[in-house]
Structure 1
Amino acid sequence: MLVLLVLLTAAAVACGLLGSWQLDRAEVRGAQAAHEARDKILLAPPVAIGELLGAHETFAGELVGRRVTAVGQFTGEQLLVVGRAHDGQVGSLVLAELRVLDDGTGAGTGTGTGTVSPSDAPVLAVVRGWLPEGAEPPGVPSGDVSVTGYLQSGEAAGPGTGSGGALLPDGQTDSISMAQLAGRWGTPIYTGYVVQSDPAPESPMLQLDPPALPGSGFAWRNLMYAIQWWIFGGFALAIWIRSVRDEAREPAEPAL
């Protein structure tokens, strides 16, 4: 019985260690896979926004981080999205209204076709960059511009912009809510916004880091292997416990 105990205990310990090793591999491989997937998305060449998203179309989660370009005109309307941290400092995002004249699909959304004027073109919210508190945002470029950046999903309305919430000064907001922007800037409007990755030269605005991408960063296959090893270790302990119980139930041999 003692030999059986030693063998089963060793087997249970070995299974536990192998399970822990597989769990560690699940985290390492998952993080590596997530990093590679992130680089694949963020380093991919930009595509025309119309190839991924149209005005009023539902914003899918897999669009976060995709690089796009849009051709249009800034209206001059800008908002400061207050309370946003960057490199440990609190400041504001500079959010501008862009009227998209060419979404890259050739579907007649731009002035090049002579069918849509800038005032009727769909609205795209563009985060131009980040400013420290107290800094004044620079003016937007005039005329037709090409904007390149990362897609990001809209946010829920913050307490400073909702009805009955705390009031903010004119020209400020605390969220990038597409519904509220539609009420301010009009429709049609894109359901996501663009974080500009090519800020104007000599601008006081700082470029933002690429957005965080959704995903678990976990290798589920290795996790299943870890669970299997732990189950095997549990079987070894169960066999030992049953052996002890069976031996306890056996009647003692009569003394001579």
Structure 2
Amino acid sequence: MTDPEAPTTLWRAARRPRMLLLLLLLLGAAAVCGRLGAWQLDRAEVRGVRAEERHVAELVAADPVPLDDVLAPQTAFHGDMVGRKVAVTGAYDADGQLLVPGRAHDGVTGYLVLTPLRVTGGAAGDGAVLPVVRGWVASPDDADEPPAGDVDLVGYLQVSESAGSGVRDGRTDAISSPELLNVWGGPIWTGYLVVAASDPAQAPSVVLLDPPRSPGAGLNIQNLAYAAQWWIFGGFAVLLWWRLVRDEAAGRPPEAAATPADPPATPTPTEPAPH
């Protein structure tokens, strides 16, 4: 029976030839896993973009439904309502119009034009306030006065944002229904409308926006999960080598083979008794 290797330091164990060779093999496996993960991430982006383009096309082509059929004032806004195409009639309150700075459109940072709409003709929301994003402008000077009188709007729903720093000097950094309630009064919707069409029309200086997207849109979840799995496998390969180095440094256990048993004693022949 041979004695087990004596314990040593992790550094010495890691520099042993078999450990270095094993490290190279496992690093190669980890690199392959990392590359496959990056490929799956790229597929997640490509498939996600295609799916999002189809979804946006469906939203644009959809027929609008009355706002009251989807959401009533002071009621919870659910995630599946994002992007729903609705129709609503009301009158703008021009005195309550606000600008939302720091919002980008086609790579240019500008302002959203946010105007309260007093809804009319709706059984659930007659007289309630609907926050309306009428569009985007590059400069505050491009923000026009909203159309006077009753307007018929078609647009897309979006959930209210988290509270910001409040409303001051005709500006707000967040489209937050609770904050707007303190300024415009209520009852108020828990989401806002992104205008797609207006009758009467508004000034062309206010650029209409695309349908809003849900958080996380643009990535295919299945491919994203595959990418994470490959990266986890690569991490396991490195951790496996470290575990083997620790075992190597601690000394190998004795061989499992048992010591052969002593052979049985050969019986001594018995001499025949003399007659």
Give the match's secondary structure for 1:93. Answer: strand
1:80-107 deviations in Å (ceiling 9; x for gaps): 214234456554322222233466xxxx
Give the match's secondary structure for 2:235. Answer: helix
1:51-80 deviations in Å (ceiling 9; x for gaps): 44221112234543x132122122343412
Please tell me whether residue 81 in structure 1 is matched to residue 99 in structure 2.
Answer: yes
C-alpha spacing 1:94/1:237, structure 2 compared with 1 (3 Å)? closer
- Greater displacement, 84-93 / 198-207: 84-93
Query: Which residue of structure 1 aligns with residue 22 of structure 2?
Result: 8
Does structure 2 conserve the Cα–Cα contact (< 8 Å) formed by 1:154 and 1:193?
Answer: no
Query: Which residue of structure 2 aligns with residue 234 of structure 1?
Result: 239
C-alpha spacing 1:80/1:89, structure 2 compared with 1 (3 Å)? farther
Equivalences for 1:102-251 in 2 at 5 Å? 108-109=123-124, 120-131=126-137, 132-140=139-147, 142-159=149-166, 161=167, 167-168=168-169, 172-174=170-172, 175-198=174-197, 200=201, 203-215=204-216, 217=219, 219-239=224-244, 242-243=247-248, 246=251
> 1:41 Cα deviation (Å)?
3.9
Where structure 1 has 5 or more consecutive residues not aligned to the other structure, the ranges are 111-119, 162-166, 251-256
Does structure 2 conserve the Cα–Cα contact (< 8 Å) formed by 1:47 and 1:68?
Answer: yes
**Equivalent residue letter for 1:173:** R
Please tell me whether residue 71 in structure 1 is matched to residue 88 in structure 2.
Answer: yes
Query: Which residue of structure 2 aligns with residue 114 of structure 1?
Result: none
- What number of residue pairs does the alignment pair up? 227
1:199-254 deviations in Å (ceiling 9; x for gaps): 6365221223444531284612331232124313432453355346537x99xxxx
Tell me the distance in 2 between the aligned counterparts of 1:9 and 1:82: 55
**TM norm structure 1:** 0.69
- Greater displacement, 133-142 / 121-130: 133-142
C-alpha spacing 1:184/1:229, structure 2 compared with 1 (3 Å)? closer
Does structure 2 conserve the Cα–Cα contact (< 8 Å) formed by 1:94 and 1:127?
Answer: yes
> 1:21 Cα deviation (Å)?
1.8
C-alpha spacing 1:36/1:50, structure 2 compared with 1 (3 Å)? farther
Tell me the distance in 2 between the aligned counterparts of 1:232 and 1:41: 40
Give the match's secondary structure for 1:187. Answer: coil
Q: Which runs of 4+ in 1 moved over 4 A?
A: 2-7, 87-91
Aligned CA RMSD, in angstroms, stands at 3.6
Give the match's secondary structure for 2:197. Answer: coil
Tell me the distance in 1 between the aligned counterparts of 2:18 and 2:237: 16
1:104-137 deviations in Å (ceiling 9; x for gaps): xxxx448xxxxxxxxx433211111123122351
Query: Which residue of structure 1 aligns with residue 31 of structure 2?
Result: 17
> 1:4 Cα deviation (Å)?
4.2
- Greater displacement, 128-137 / 150-159: 150-159
Tell me the distance in 1 between the aligned counterparts of 2:24 and 2:72: 61
Tell me the distance in 2 between the aligned counterparts of 1:245 and 1:155: 55
**TM norm structure 2:** 0.65
Give the match's secondary structure for 1:121. Answer: coil
Tell me the distance in 1 between the aligned counterparts of 2:76 and 2:89: 21
> 1:186 Cα deviation (Å)?
3.1
Does structure 2 conserve the Cα–Cα contact (< 8 Å) formed by 1:56 and 1:189?
Answer: yes
Please tell me whether residue 100 in structure 1 is matched to residue 98 in structure 2.
Answer: no
- What's the % identity of the aligned pairs? 24
Give the greater-gyration-radius structure (CA).
2
Does structure 1 conserve the Cα–Cα contact (< 8 Å) formed by 2:81 and 2:157?
Answer: no
